[in-house]
Homo-oligomer: A and B are copies of this chain.
Amino acid sequence: MRQNKPDKGWKYKVHEVIYEADTPLGKWFDILLFVLIIISVLLVMLESVKWIDAEYHEILFILEWIVTILFTIEYIARIVSIKQPKNYIFSFYGVIDLLSTIPLYLSYIFAGSQVLLAIRSLRLLRVFRILKLVRFLGEASQLKNALKASRAKITVFLFAVLILSVILGTLMYLIEGDEAGFTSIPTSIYWTIVTLTTVGYGDIAPITPQGQFIATLIMLVGYGVIAVPTGIVTVEFGKKSQAQKTIGDKHFVHVNTQACRNCSKEGHRDDATHCYNCGSEL
């Protein structure tokens, strides 16, 4: 089907390789991009480990430049090969791609000794490159839908947990005081949430018998409370999986990963010849 289309210039070919995953070249491009992102995130991580940075600083620096240049090429190719660049530049992925590319350049532009520390933080922005991986999470739609459907309930639930935490936190601040680490109400609330969620660091822990008694109650409440989001999400998953069984197949058509060259929308039918969003030829 695809092969029958006439040659439409290098822009078309670049678009097909970069934006789509149906052709062999498109698949190779996706795999390469995936590996490149993983490498670039590992570079940021390794750089933050003092002894690795001390020993291998130059290698890391060179690799970082290679990765940045490749990302720059990819970014330019994405802008050039699309008909309406604005649609890409201001999309979620467009912003992420830009943020993933510029930190190294910026660190040269603002290279005064004064702002050195701020730049260090700036360069860590490169870790957001991992968000480029979200592209490959396409299969997650069922998870996303289940979470979206239970969003209202989870908001109400978190709101109730916060009210509870403020009151219990203040109570523990009154009972325990400074010695046990409950130095202020915000700190006590932090401790309460650490306990309610069953994380329990132990950096702050009650030492008075009354405090330990209240803590025990908070934990038992946390027991019941942790059941609520699980209950919500499980029921939502159950609905989806029942829906899948009962709704007939005729309502579903297979969509491919082809993206419109004009508006970059994905999810076209296999037999589509025009974009369902802007109507331009595919």
Which residues of A does B touch, CB under 8 Å?
41, 44-45, 48-50, 121, 124, 127-128, 130-131, 133-134, 136-137, 139-140, 142-143, 146-147, 152-154, 156-161, 163, 166-167, 170, 173-174, 183-187, 189-190, 193-195, 197-203, 205, 209, 212-213, 215-216, 219-220, 222-224, 226-239, 241
Chain B residue numbers with a CB within 8 Å of A128 are: 167
**CA of A61 to CA of B137 in the docked complex: distance in angstroms?**
51
14 residue pairs bridging A and B, Cβ less than 8 Å apart: A45-B185, A45-B189, A48-B185, A49-B209, A124-B173, A127-B166, A127-B167, A128-B167, A154-B224, A190-B212, A200-B201, A231-B237, A234-B235, A239-B241
Are the CB atoms of A163 and B50 closer together than 8 Å?
no
**Number of copies of chain A assembled together:** 4
**CA of A189 to CA of B213 in the docked complex: distance in angstroms?**
10
- A278–chain B nearest beta-carbon distance, Å: 30
Chain B residue numbers with a CB within 8 Å of A48 are: 173, 184-186
- A244–chain B nearest beta-carbon distance, Å: 11
Are the CB atoms of A231 and B146 closer together than 8 Å?
yes
Chain B residue numbers with a CB within 8 Å of A187 are: 212
Chain B residue numbers with a CB within 8 Å of A131 are: 163, 167
- A109–chain B nearest beta-carbon distance, Å: 21
**CA of A127 to CA of B185 in the docked complex: distance in angstroms?**
10
Residue of B whose beta carbon sits closest to that of A158 = B220
Residue of B whose beta carbon sits closest to that of A121 = B174
Cβ-defined partner of A49 (8 Å) among B167, B186, B200, B233: B186
Are the CB atoms of A201 and B205 closer together than 8 Å?
yes
Residue of B whose beta carbon sits closest to that of A183 = B50
**CA of A139 to CA of B154 in the docked complex: distance in angstroms?**
11
Cβ-defined partner of A229 (8 Å) among B154, B163, B224: B224
Chain B residue numbers with a CB within 8 Å of A219 are: 193-194, 197, 199
Known: A234-B237, A239-B241. 16 other contacts (CB 8 A): A121-B174, A130-B167, A143-B156, A146-B231, A147-B228, A193-B219, A198-B199, A198-B200, A200-B202, A202-B202, A226-B226, A227-B234, A230-B230, A230-B233, A231-B236, A234-B234
Are the CB atoms of B233 and A228 closer together than 8 Å?
yes
Chain B residue numbers with a CB within 8 Å of A205 are: 201, 203
**CA of A194 to CA of B159 in the docked complex: distance in angstroms?**
24
Chain B residue numbers with a CB within 8 Å of A153 are: 142-143
Known: A48-B173, A167-B128. A233 touches B231 (CB 8 A): yes
